[in-house]
Amino acid sequence: MTPAPSVRAVPPAERWLRRFRPVAGPRLRLVCLPHAGGTAGAFHGWAATLPDDVELVAVQYPGRQDRFAEPCPRDMGELADTLAGALLPLFDAPVALFGHSMGAALAYEVTLRLETLHRAVPSRLFVSGQTSPTRPRRSRDLHLGDDDALLAGLRELGGMDEAVLADPELLPLLLPSFRADLRLIETYRPRLTAPVRAPVTACVGDADPDVPVADAAAWADLAATEFDVRVFPGGHFYLVDREAEVVADIAGRLAAVR
């Protein structure tokens, strides 16, 4: 009898992480966490700008692209628990985290878990386009609206290709992950708002309709050691229009990490 083919279990890190430029013996790993509805590919272009000794790693959430068949996350705490475990093997070298919008809140939660449960302190935490959890949220509850309201909100925030938003065949595939991610961040209420030991840099666009500079600067309340804020020209997705400037700024802040 021919034996049944075996199915290889995919390690969590292999499912969750995409290495856009693997580096042997990197000086530093930069792990990027995308926005609601985003994919790891949002950071693919950063590899060309980062220093050669920095390995670029991006997180791929379930419910999209090659993880389309998996259910979208429904609980920020559970998502952070899983992702912290997936990132832990990367700490054979210094690790910095950059999260944008929903990804910023998640990066903070992951950092808390890495530090308190695993004694792994990131070299720096970048929180981009997100209000500090210590401030009242300015949620528009887009996840509760119909598809037209959801699309209008996404267009206002920017950062999405209009051709994608106008494609009647793609939208039914994309909107469920958008809605699920927005629900995740719009209902996010942290159980604990504790300072992290990692140095924290808050990044924000000066014309972000949802995140005033003062709300981004309030991340200082959650930085136990070092904090600074970087204000870029632009809206919520300032990092798309000013990619080279943003990546150069990040690289400069990480230049001394060894």
Q: Closest Cα to residue 130, out of 74, 204, 186, 188?
A: 204
Fold of 12-138+193-253: Rossmann fold (3.40.50)
The whole-number pLDDT of residue 11 equals: 63
10, pLDDT greater than 70: no
Of residues 169 and 128, more confidence is placed in 128
Residues that are catalytic? 101, 236
pLDDT band at 9 (very low <50, low <70, confident <90, very high): low
Highest mean pLDDT among 99-103, 133-137, 177-181: 99-103
The 10s digit of each residue's pLDDT in 133-153 is 999 876 677 777 678 888 877
3 pLDDT tier (thresholds 50, 70, 90): very low
pLDDT digits (tens, 9 = 90+) for 78-87: 999 999 999 9
Helix (H, G, I), strand (E, B) or coil at 215: helix
Model confidence band, residue 14 (pLDDT cutoffs 50, 70, 90): confident
Q: Tell me the domain boundaries of the chain.
A: 12-138+193-253
pLDDT at position 5:
42
Going by their DSSP bridges, the two strands 54-59 and 28-33 should be labelled as parallel
How far apart (Å, rounded) are the C-alpha atoms in residues 90 and 26? 10
What pLDDT does residue 172 have? 80
In 88-137, where does DSSP find H-type helix? 102-118
Per-residue pLDDT of 188-222, as tens digits, reads 988 888 999 999 999 999 999 989 999 999 999 99
pLDDT at site 2: 42
Band of residue 175 on the pLDDT scale cut at 50, 70, 90: confident
Kindly report, residue by residue over 62-74, the tens digit of the pLDDT.
Answer: 998 899 999 999 9
What value does the mean pLDDT of the chain take? 90
The b/e string for 70-103 (b: 16+ C-beta within 10 A; e otherwise) is eebbeebeebbebbbbbbbebeebbbbbbbbbbb
Look at residue 21 in the predicted model and tell me its pLDDT. Answer: 85
| % of the chain surpassing 70 pLDDT | 93
What local confidence, expressed as pLDDT, does residue 173 receive? 80
SS3 207: coil
